[in-house]
């Protein structure tokens, strides 16, 4: 997911680029990071694109004129473009929204195939985005498991373990707090990005504190063998 | 000044973290007891946007939805902007009481954890880099 963000979007996606350059990004829960993508690739936005297909059907059946069709299509696509913001390039590659969602005029290909193709693409991305957090958290936990297995040092194994538990838990708590906030404050994607990045930062800080706390005060406790983690991660 | 100064704040931080992890487990269970009537009546437009409905359905983000409805049950006025101030009426009183306790615990516990966490983050940094 991170490799697909083009370099010119890094200014817009400062949070993602911070994650990409931070060597610890795999152990920070991604569930909150993916939260913002889930907002953008939403049923509402996808419905906007589907309406372009409906409009075309209306035009072809004589319900509206070509001018009306083109005008309304432009309105819908502009709204979609505004909603998704800088993600546009990520989703559609080098084509703009307007270029990508055009009616295929080639013979034998259904006219709305081009639109349907992109709607399906978006739906798939939306489902990845929604589960992306779960997958990333899974990846994060799996990555720590690998790190635990890779090191021989018992101390290091325990440090990785406590860091993972702390940052994952705080990330989940961040999600809960965001939920409590969202119910009283419906927000847009810009704010969602800010909230998400705050949770990620809190998770990271907690991980570091846990590691330092363990190293300074908890060395006698061997969580990894006590909980059987080292029989799983080896 | 020795790093021993951080010992008891650290123990407090660790205790808070464990308590909040237990809180997460409780939410995991309570998720299945959110009144179905509440969800059926209010988890739809215009109270929630299509984006939010899609996002908060299914694993794992439905748990965030659970916290949202708990806040609505405990503090009806929190639903004002979404027109959800009546939603609490569909929740049994035990759910409303538990929601108030749990949400309060979340806010207070997280705030303490956050403040202590930043303090300890800075403290450990100091002792690692500026102190023998």
Kindly report the CA angle at A53 between A47 and A56, in degrees rounded to 5? 140
Question: In the predicted model, what is the mean pLDDT of residues B85-95?
Answer: 92
Beta-carbon separation of B81 and A185 below 8 A: yes
Beta-carbon separation of B72 and A42 below 8 A: no
Q: Which two tokens stand for residue A54?
A: 């409906």
Task: Please tell me the distance from the alpha carbon of residue B119 to that of residue A208, in angstroms, as a whole number.
Answer: 12
Q: State if pTM tops 0.80.
A: no
Q: Which two tokens stand for residue B61?
A: 């983000």
Beta-carbon separation of A179 and B65 below 8 A: yes
How many CA atoms lie within 13 Å of A21's alpha carbon, on the beta-carbon side? 7
A84 — alpha (psi -120 to 50), left (phi > 0) or beta?
alpha
Separation in Å, CA of A231 to nearest CA in chain B: 24
In chain B, which residue's Cα lies nearest the Cα of A135? Answer: B60
pLDDT tens-digit map of A133-170: 444 455 556 667 777 777 888 888 898 888 888 888 88
From A106-110, A115-119, B24-28, B78-82, the region with the lowest mean pLDDT: A106-110
A146 part of contact set with chain B, CB < 8 Å: no
State the complex-level ipTM.
0.87
Q: How many domains does chain B have?
A: 1
Beta-carbon separation of A217 and B7 below 8 A: yes
Domain that holds residue A163: 2-232
Q: Which two tokens stand for residue A227?
A: 């909980």
Query: Would the CA dihedral through A15, A16, A20, A26 be positive or negative?
Result: positive
Q: How many domains does chain A have?
A: 1
Task: Please tell me the distance from the alpha carbon of residue A90 to that of residue A136, in angstroms, as a whole number.
Answer: 19
Domain that holds residue B76: 3-129
């Amino acid at each position: 997911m991170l490799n697909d963000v083009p370099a010119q979007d890094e200014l817009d996606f400062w949070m993602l680029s911070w994650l990409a350059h931070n060597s610890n990004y795999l152990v920070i829960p991604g569930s909150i990071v993916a939260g913002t993508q889930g907002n953008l690739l939403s049923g509402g936005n996808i419905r906007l694109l589907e309406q372009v297909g409906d409009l075309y059907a209306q035009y072809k059946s004589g319900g509206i004129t070509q001018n009306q069709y083109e005008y309304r299509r432009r309105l819908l696509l502009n709204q979609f473009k505004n909603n998704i913001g800088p993600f546009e390039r990520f989703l559609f590659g080098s084509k703009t929204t307007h270029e990508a969602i055009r009616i295929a005029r080639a013979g034998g290909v259904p006219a709305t195939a081009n639109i349907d193709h992109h709607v399906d693409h978006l739906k798939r991305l939306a489902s990845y985005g929604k589960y992306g957090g779960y997958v990333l958290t899974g990846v994060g936990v799996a990555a720590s498991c690998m790190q635990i297995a890779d090191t021989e040092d018992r101390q290091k194994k325990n440090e990785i373990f406590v860091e993972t538990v702390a940052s994952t838990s705080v990330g989940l708590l961040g999600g809960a707090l965001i939920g409590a906030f969202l119910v009283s404050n419906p927000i847009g994607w810009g704010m969602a990005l800010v909230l998400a990045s705050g949770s990620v930062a809190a998770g990271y800080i907690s991980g570091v504190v846990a590691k330092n706390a363990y190293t300074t005060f908890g060395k006698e406790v061997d969580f990894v063998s006590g909980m059987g983690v080292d029989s799983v991660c080896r | 000044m020795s790093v021993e100064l951080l010992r008891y704040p650290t123990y407090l931080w660790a205790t808070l973290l464990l308590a909040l992890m237990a809180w997460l487990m409780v939410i995991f269970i309570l998720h299945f007891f959110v009144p179905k009537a509440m969800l059926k009546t209010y988890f739809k437009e215009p109270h929630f946007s299509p984006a939010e409905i899609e996002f908060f359905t299914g694993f794992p983000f439905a748990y965030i939805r659970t916290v949202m409805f708990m806040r609505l049950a405990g503090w009806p006025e929190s639903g004002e902007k979404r027109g959800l101030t009546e939603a609490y009426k569909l929740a049994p009183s035990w759910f409303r009481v538990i929601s108030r306790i749990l949400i309060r615990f979340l806010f207070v516990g997280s705030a303490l954890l956050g403040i202590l966490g930043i303090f300890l983050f800075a403290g450990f940094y100091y002792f690692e880099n500026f102190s023998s």
